[in-house]
Amino acid sequence: MNLTGKTCLVTGANSGLGFAVAKRFAAQGAGTVMVCRNRGKGEKAVLEIKKASPNSTVELMICDLSSMKSIQRFMDECKVKYSKLDILYNNAAVMKQKRTVTQDGFEMMFQVNYLAPFILMNSFIELLKNGSSPYIINNGRPSDKLRLDMDDLQFSKNYHMYNSFFKTKLCLLFASLELSRRNESAGITVTMIDPGPFKSDLVRDVPLAGWIKNLFSSPVEKTADNILYHITPDEARDKNGKVFKEKQEKPLTEYWNDRSISESLWSETESLIKGKIN
Ligand SMILES: NC(=O)c1ccc[n+]([C@@H]2O[C@H](COP(=O)([O-])OP(=O)(O)OC[C@H]3O[C@@H](n4cnc5c(N)ncnc54)[C@H](OP(=O)(O)O)[C@@H]3O)[C@@H](O)[C@H]2O)c1
């Protein structure tokens, strides 16, 4: 695969799958934009990728997805710096054992895992339209058993680390599907990919649970292959509005495909972020 000439942006690119995928993007010749919240960790990750692919163009952008102010600044900088975007890989996520609230007043996982990618997808539409075979990939495992509580999207009544985390990914799935329908004519492919379990530090709040999960998980480099597999630019269009588990397409469940849910979540999300982001 040759990604020369493409601009590929990866959130949460300093560690785990984000780092592994950014490294692949750079190795394939893409202009790689690594979005990290911590400058020190980000600079270290950029250096490591530059060392592996000395001729690559790798840039660090700082953004803390738990801060609307930081998201706004990051998006404004991107719009000045880049004239197009070919791949937006919404990878960053956080898993919190205890319910916490961001400085913007949102539940942390809801903001980082759902609101932030929702905002990035929508704000980068014009940049993506300037790309070739533009492609948005949202990362995560959408549950086919859980149901969203539209009256308690931010888990104020009922917080559970895993269930709430997977509900934020379910929100992201509904937003992916809704955006894929709304942008059908714009030529932007939107997919959600569950990369399958891999070793990482995601469950860092509960070290024993994280350790056990990692025992039964793949090395992250192998998982990065599952993501790269879906990035054959010319074929990307066929993937619009689809969901994948590793390399296989996952049929949409009746619940996932219920447009009344994706539409009401979309309008609720727009009201939640109104006035907080331009
Ligand atoms: N691990 C698995 O088995 C598995 C399975 C399926 C799907 N996934 C998905 O894979 C993705 C990557 O997770 P991972 O397992 O690679 O975990 P990870 O190593 O913890 O990576 C998460 C990344 O998100 C970043 N991040 C967290 N909060 C942020 C914030 N407020 N602003 C900006 N960046 C933030 C982290 O930055 P810091 O380093 O600064 O914290 C880190 O770079 C997630 O979407 C996850 O849901 C993971």
pLDDT in tens, 192-248: 999 999 999 999 999 999 999 999 999 999 999 989 999 876 666 689 999 999 999
Looking at residue 190, its pLDDT comes to 96
Q: Where are the domains of the chain?
A: 7-273
Q: Ligand 1 within 6 A of 193 CB?
A: no
Q: To the nearest whole number, what is the mean pLDDT of the chain?
A: 95
Span 18-36, average pLDDT: 98
Distance 11 CA to ligand 1 centre (A): 9
Looking at residue 231, its pLDDT comes to 87
Looking at residue 185, its pLDDT comes to 82
Question: pLDDT confidence of 271, banded at 50, 70, 90?
Answer: very high
Looking at residue 264, its pLDDT comes to 98
Q: Name 23's Cβ contacts closer than 8 Å, sequence gap at least 6.
A: 48, 49, 52, 53, 224
Instruction: Judge whether residue 97 has pLDDT over 70.
Output: yes
For the domain 7-273, what is the CATH superfamily, name and number?
NAD(P)-binding Rossmann-like Domain (3.40.50.720)
Task: Report pLDDT digits (tens) over 43-82.
Answer: 999 999 999 999 999 999 999 999 999 999 999 999 999 9
Looking at residue 184, its pLDDT comes to 83
Closest C-alpha to 176, from 188, 187, 165, 192: 192
How far is Cα 95 from Cα 202, in angstroms, rounded to an integer?
A: 7
Looking at residue 234, its pLDDT comes to 62
Six-digit token string for 103: 């400085």
In 28-88, alpha helices (H): 39-52, 68-81
Ligand 1 pocket test: pick from 11, 14, 15 the residue with the most ligand atoms within 8 Å of its Cβ.
15
Higher-pLDDT residue of 89, 235: 89
Residue nearest to atom 36 of ligand 1 (CA): 12
71 exposure class (CB count in 10 Å sphere: 0-12, 13-18, 19+): buried
Distance 273 CA to ligand 1 centre (A): 22
Ligand 1 pocket test: pick from 19, 162, 202, 223 the residue with the most ligand atoms within 8 Å of its Cβ.
202
How far is Cα 261 from Cα 258, in angstroms, rounded to an integer?
A: 6
How far is Cα 192 from Cα 140, in angstroms, rounded to an integer?
A: 7
Looking at residue 36, its pLDDT comes to 98
Six-digit token string for 35: 């979005």
Question: pLDDT confidence of 157, banded at 50, 70, 90?
Answer: very high
Task: Report pLDDT digits (tens) over 118-153.
Answer: 999 999 999 999 998 899 999 999 999 999 999 999
Closest C-alpha to 33, from 115, 127, 141: 127
Q: Ligand 1 within 6 A of 93 CB?
A: yes
Ligand 1 pocket test: pick from 165, 200, 214, 245 the residue with the most ligand atoms within 8 Å of its Cβ.
200
Q: Name 32's Cβ contacts closer than 8 Å, sequence gap at least 6.
A: 8, 10, 22, 25, 26, 49, 56, 57, 58, 59
3-state SS class at 94: coil
Quick one: which atom of ligand 1 is closest to the CA of 204? 20
Residue nearest to atom 34 of ligand 1 (CA): 12
Looking at residue 233, its pLDDT comes to 60
Q: Ligand 1 within 6 A of 245 CB?
A: no
Six-digit token string for 82: 């880049």
Looking at residue 186, its pLDDT comes to 87
